[in-house]
Amino acid sequence: MNTPVLMSLLIFIVLIFIIGFWSSRQMSRRQGSFLHEYFLGSRELGGFILAMTMVATYGSASSFLGGPGAAYTQGLGWVLLAMSQVATGYFVLLILGKKFAIMARKYDAVTLIDFLKKRYESKAVVLISAASIIIFLFSAMAAQWVGGAYLIESLTGLTYTSALFIFAVAVLIYVIIGGFRAVVVTDTVQGVVMFFGTIIILIGTIIAGGGITNIMNDLVAENPNLVTPFGHDGGLTPAYVSSFWILVGVGVVALPQVAVRAMSYKNAKAMHRALIVGTIVVGVIMLGMHLIGVFARPILPGLEVADQVMPLITMEVLPPWLAGIVLAAPLAAIMSTVDSLLLLVSSAVVKDVYINYIKPEATEKQVKRASFSVTAVLGVLVFALALSPPDLLIWLNLFAFGGLEAAFIWPLIFGLYWQRGNKWGALASMITGVTSYIIIHQFFPNPLGMHSVVLPILISFASYIIAVLLTDKHERQIAV
């Protein structure tokens, strides 16, 4: 692989380290609690940073590699599907919104589980939540590492193992030093790189294809289905495409890595700003990246691995030095996703299990040491798993997001907006949601032509309400 590409990647990683050190110095100067600072950045995020960190966390390997790959195969129908994600730009912040921000402060909550713990006052809710987060996010994270290593491998020509090693060392040093604040600050850098990178590659691709009209004509000539909303073989039905509004649109509210950001901003002004910036950035990145996948088809016909379309088209249409800078973006996306997942899983272990139930009297110093070591141990474990990803892991990753949504969406939403909501509702909803999702995903995929996540979300909705109605009287008597 050529030197300019490597150079800019290297510069990028060094830049990340510098930001990490800087952030951690900020941290040691601050007087506040270590937990707040390490896992939450002391609730001081401004609007622009909040928007970028949400975008970068959400825009993972799947949207930078898998998404354009699918668009390459399916045509404009997949871009249509991807546009359901624009909703995340405004929906998450408006729904969780000010209520979540106020409640999180009132409860002194640092993670999603903190919130659920204080809201429902139930050990079972906390333990089930922590288990869901540890299992689902851990596997989602390992798959991201595999993606990151593949990318480094294809850019540098190193072996998979060395690529994975480089990736792991960079991520670990970074997360351990910096904590949440460092992660968000780089998220911002990465979000900006992704945003402009998308625009630059899109323009380059359109020029290389001889204009949009030309590209469309080529696509129609190859297969007219590519310009319809129904996918290359007519297989994308309206019901299936629409159900992605649940999986990657509104359901995203319930992802712990997204929810934690919705409690970390400074004030209402920051939230308002993030709404606007977030909608613009998510919209442009989603539209642009997936369009690139489609437009690349006439330029690079017959790719064997469609997921490679993004790196390949970038190196095809841009001068090498620019390609290097822009290709830092997918790497950035993967790294920042991994960073925040790592942080979340370790917060689930340290805060939600260790401090809550194992050693409530732990001192600040012990908490600090526990956080660092858990993060490091997790990193090593993920590395070991990613070396030869077991089948189970891939299977788990495929439905990690759906599982988290089925588990958390109603306990979170009802917890915020329904005063009568109680722990029985939360438990019923989490258990039925996760179980039915696993069963449907495994044995009856895509029922009624919709994505497997839709029915479990409805089932967990009903369970929550039924359980609350059944136990409401009893709970109120206790309360009085």
Question: Binding other proteins by CB under 8 A: which of 28, 31, 213, 363?
Answer: 213
Cα(89)–Cα(74) distance, integer angstroms: 25
Residue 89 binds other proteins, judged by CB under 8 A: yes
Query: Which residue of 2, 3, 18, 98 would you call a contact of other proteins, by CB under 8 A?
Result: 98
Q: Which residues have CB under 8 Å from 258's CB, separation 6+?
A: 54, 57, 58, 88, 92, 252
Nearer to other proteins, 99 or 359 (CB): 99
- Tell me the site size for other proteins, rule CB under 8 A: 50
- Asked whether position 470 contacts other proteins by CB under 8 A, the answer is no
The C-alpha atoms of residue 372 and residue 370 are separated, in whole angstroms, by 6
Helices (H), 391-479: 391-417, 423-443, 454-479
Q: How far is the CB of 47 from other proteins (least distance, A)?
A: 10
- The least CB distance from residue 215 to other proteins, in Å, is 8
Q: Which stretch binds other proteins (CB under 8 A): 12-20, 273-281, 298-306, 459-467?
A: 273-281
Six token digits for residue 295: 């437009």
Exposed / middle / buried, residue 1 (Cβ in 10 Å: 0-12, 13-18, 19+): middle
CB of 216 to other proteins, least distance (A): 6
184, 41 Cβ separation under 8 angstroms: yes
Residue 292 touching other proteins (CB under 8 A) = no
Q: C-beta of 236: minimal distance to other proteins in Å?
A: 11
The least distance separating other proteins from the CB of residue 111, rounded to whole angstroms, comes to: 17
Q: Which of 124, 127, 203, 280 binds other proteins (CB under 8 A)?
A: 280
Instruction: Tell me if 99 contacts other proteins by CB under 8 A.
Output: yes
In single-letter form, the type of residue at position 315 comes to: M
Strand, helix or coil for residue 265: strand
Q: Which is nearer to other proteins, 180 or 295 (CB)?
A: 295
Which range binds other proteins by CB under 8 A, 31-39, 50-58, 153-161, 242-250? 242-250
Contact flag: residue 476 with other proteins (CB under 8 A): no
Residues in Cβ contact with 111 at an 8 Å cutoff, skipping those fewer than 6 apart: 39, 256, 260, 344, 347, 348, 351, 352
Question: Which of 98-106, 171-179, 353-361, 464-472 is the region at the interface with other proteins (rule: CB under 8 A)?
Answer: 98-106
Structure tokens at 20: 């990490």
| Rounded alpha-carbon distances, angstroms, from residue 320 to 313, 399, 406 | 12, 37, 44
Considering the complex, state which of residue 154 and residue 242 has its C-beta at the smaller distance from other proteins.
Answer: 242
Dihedral class, residue 302 (left if φ above 0, else alpha if ψ from -120 to 50, else beta): left
The two tokens of residue 192 are 């900006």
Q: Which amino acid is at 329?
A: A
Nearer to other proteins, 211 or 390 (CB): 211
Task: Mark the segment that binds other proteins (CB under 8 A) among 54-62, 181-189, 280-288, 430-438.
Answer: 280-288
Residue 308 DSSP symbol: G
Question: 454 is written with which tokens?
Answer: 């839709």
> What gap in Å lies between CA 167 and CA 150, rounded to an integer?
10
Rg (alpha carbons) of the chain, rounded to whole number: 22
Task: Please answer whether residues 399 and 435 qualify as being in contact, where contact means their C-beta atoms are separated by less than 8 angstroms.
Answer: no
HEC-encoded secondary structure of 31-75: CCCHHHHHHHHHHCECHHHHHHHHHHHHCCHHHHHHHHHHHHHHC
| Least separation in angstroms between CB 285 and other proteins | 11
Which of 91, 174, 354, 410 touches other proteins (CB under 8 A)? 91
Amino acid letter at 410? W
Q: Which of 365, 419, 473, 478 binds other proteins (CB under 8 A)?
A: 419
* Residue written as token pair 């979540």: 100
- The only residue of 4, 46, 66, 97 in contact with other proteins, by rule CB under 8 A: 97
Among 177, 216, 312, 376, binds other proteins (CB under 8 A): 216
Q: Is 215 among the residues that bind other proteins (CB under 8 A)?
A: yes
| Identified binder of other proteins from the candidate list 227, 300, 355, 381, rule CB under 8 A | 227
| Residue 29, CA distances (Å) to 15, 175, 186 in order | 22, 18, 20
Q: Does 349 bind other proteins (CB under 8 A)?
A: no
Write each residue from 170 to 209 as x if it is in contact with other proteins (CB under 8 A), else as -, in one continuous string.
Answer: ----------------------------------------
Stretch that binds other proteins, among 8-16, 18-26, 85-93, 451-459 (CB under 8 A): 85-93
Out of 95, 203, 299, 438, the residue judged to bind other proteins by CB under 8 A? 95
**Does residue 79 interact with other proteins by CB under 8 A?**
yes
Would you tell me which residues interact with other proteins (CB under 8 A)? 76, 79-80, 83-84, 86-87, 89-91, 93-95, 97-99, 101-102, 105-106, 211-213, 215-216, 220, 224-225, 227-230, 238, 242, 245, 249-250, 267-269, 272, 275-276, 279-280, 283-284, 287, 417, 419
